[in-house]
Structure 1
């Protein structure tokens, strides 16, 4: 018998390749708070966190009905129950981008959808284009698959639009896809129709598919419109990732999907069968919430998520008004999603060297928890979540102002 002795068990290269930008910033840090002040958390994009955004009654009833039916306690098809896939297809089909149930893969949240897309489209050593500021999961999943990320910059001076010329220059023979996040986490931007057409032109030029992270589709401010990129595409194949977590305020229910917009059957032979094979790794997701999807998507009124966005927009106006008058801070007014990015001119804060330090000191002195731009590969920025009750939003911004005034020097 072998004696283990001092032998080390080796972990896989895939597991060691998992890198999460948020964890890179926080691991090993102990965030101190001011014990005399209530903690105000502007860091977490979980709409259930503050308790001010209740789940719609229809959704609760839909899940209860699925439980009481006793019809959904067993395994379902790994890529999703037929009733769920049919409902998602019906809900998201358009004349410009038609869908059937065969074009839908049900996944474990939108993050599961992105993971499946990266897994199927990329081989170790290849690369994928992602926007910066970046949603941390994109870089995390890419690294775990042995993919290199190439970052195309979003410009705060142009409402976080992509530099499409530089995007074009980043593409090489090993590039497998372009990731487009619209509306954006962390930026809160909503792209115009023309800007999406410009991105599609780059993808078409290089015969590249697009992975569209559209979890925040429809979560836009009054007067804004978000265009699903597939509705604008004539030739570029699109894998659109979404889910119910943000729009319907239930991220813990873990139901997402991939909408397969297969322009000219470019996905049909290999990508679609491989997406189904990848789904079989988990034997599918919870059948109960899948069974509730028809009632959720067909019955919950549009006013439900419009009310959420009224709160978010009001909080964005509060934050923009409060922080735009503060020297050294430059908030970028969003148009959708749940977030705002704020530029920090560190030269005006001589005793703060990075936005990581800005985050830590703000927490220690004012008990306001924001995320630093380093979490999104964008040092020099901080991100605010706009979901808390408006009175707490005002208090948070007041504390950020007081903190900034204290540390600001001309």
Structure 2
């Protein structure tokens, strides 16, 4: 008689992370069969030929002799000083090295911050669409994500009135992702001020995922929320993975701002949880000061002629030319979140579409519902491939959507032609 299978945590059944889930597993199976895939599911710059800036690589190499011991659980002093100085320069109140936490990427710090904050049944306001780690980490720390809608009709920006209506006696925090993943929305100052007012009124912690803070297009700007929050407790997250194209180094940080007396207990909880995991990756921390004080290497990629800008433009052009797609042009970050419209959208299921794209077109995308939205007609792609690859991907997408539209008995005229390749 065989032993019963091991039981897993029940709440895992509530967790969604399709970015690296079932479709990604199927992609690996196809690759073992010799298929060559275009994988647009993960915002992983190094997988598309980007490199971390040379001055960051040199900073690690120059200090590799000092990376063997554990360091302080909050991070290397020189790294925390550089992060604090960066935040002081942009107006973050009460920023100091003692209130900086360095982690193995922002992902680890999201988990630590929610573990420090939540008791069973506590609620966290999370955007919909969201980066699903936020809702997953809330669930796995015994909380409940409460989703506030970021409406496509308003450029995927939330309505503060709707947000406040969701606040209950169990609400502990508001999550903001700015610029947003997956939509690319950049939050204007006036909207952030209204969200700060909600947090102040209801004594909530602001959790601000700002990992894409310098990745902006077409003159859009980034407004950090901490300078607007004043005494309101705020935890601002940043790191090296996106702006500095160093995902594999696993270097992220969180800066606690607001009235130190109000957040003292939370700061101690973060410190305790950081100590339990000993410390974050040490070699990568030596690149932090160089990243924050050295040359700006991301802005040229986001301007006309830059690779990210041109890949984004290729997505915009493809969606404008297709009768089957609509798009809110991303203002920032590394993603686009197109929607399927018209005859092709009849009976559309985003997961089935993503699977069809993988099986028949060798393209891996992420279904929109993976980002906790109630509708099923969106998908996410990265902006990291070369522009000509992006154009090829969207030609394949449009081929599949055209076939769907014809299957519903409707011939749809093409929109204007896409801009020719540069």
**TM > 0.5 fold call:** yes
Q: How many angstroms apart in 1 are the aligned matches of 2:314 and 2:349?
A: 25
Q: 1:292 to 1:346 in 2, by over 3 A?
A: same
**For residue 355 of structure 1, what is the aligned residue in structure 2?**
350
**For residue 65 of structure 1, what is the aligned residue in structure 2?**
62
1:286-325 correspondence runs (5 A): 286-299=281-294, 301-302=295-296, 304-309=297-302, 310-325=306-321
**For residue 217 of structure 2, what is the aligned residue in structure 1?**
221
Q: What SS is found at the alignment partner of 2:213?
A: coil
Q: What SS is found at the alignment partner of 1:280?
A: helix
Is the 1:245–1:252 contact (alpha carbons within 8 Å) kept by the matching residues of 2?
yes
Q: How many angstroms apart in 2 are the aligned matches of 1:25 and 1:85?
A: 34
Unmatched tracts of structure 2, length 5 or more: 411-422
Q: 1:95 to 1:25 in 2, by over 3 A?
A: closer
Q: 1:391 to 1:210 in 2, by over 3 A?
A: same
Q: How many angstroms apart in 2 are the aligned matches of 1:50 and 1:245?
A: 14
**For residue 131 of structure 2, what is the aligned residue in structure 1?**
135
Cα offsets for 1:317-347 (capped at 9, x unmatched): 2111112232232111110000011112375
Is the 1:326–1:405 contact (alpha carbons within 8 Å) kept by the matching residues of 2?
no
Q: What SS is found at the alignment partner of 1:407?
A: helix
Q: CA RMSD in A?
A: 2.5
Unmatched tracts of structure 1, length 5 or more: none
Q: How many angstroms apart in 2 are the aligned matches of 1:182 and 1:359?
A: 26
1:82-231 correspondence runs (5 A): 82-94=77-89, 96-98=91-93, 99-231=95-227
Q: Does 1 or 2 have the higher relative contact order (CA < 8 Å, sep 6+)?
A: 1
Q: TM-score, normalised by structure 1?
A: 0.90
Q: 1:29 to 1:83 in 2, by over 3 A?
A: closer
Q: TM-score, normalised by structure 2?
A: 0.88
**For residue 75 of structure 1, what is the aligned residue in structure 2?**
70
Cα offsets for 1:271-309 (capped at 9, x unmatched): 01111001012100122221232233222x11x111332
Is the 1:214–1:242 contact (alpha carbons within 8 Å) kept by the matching residues of 2?
yes
**1:262: Cα distance to partner?**
2.3
**1:119: Cα distance to partner?**
0.9
Aligned length, in residue pairs? 399
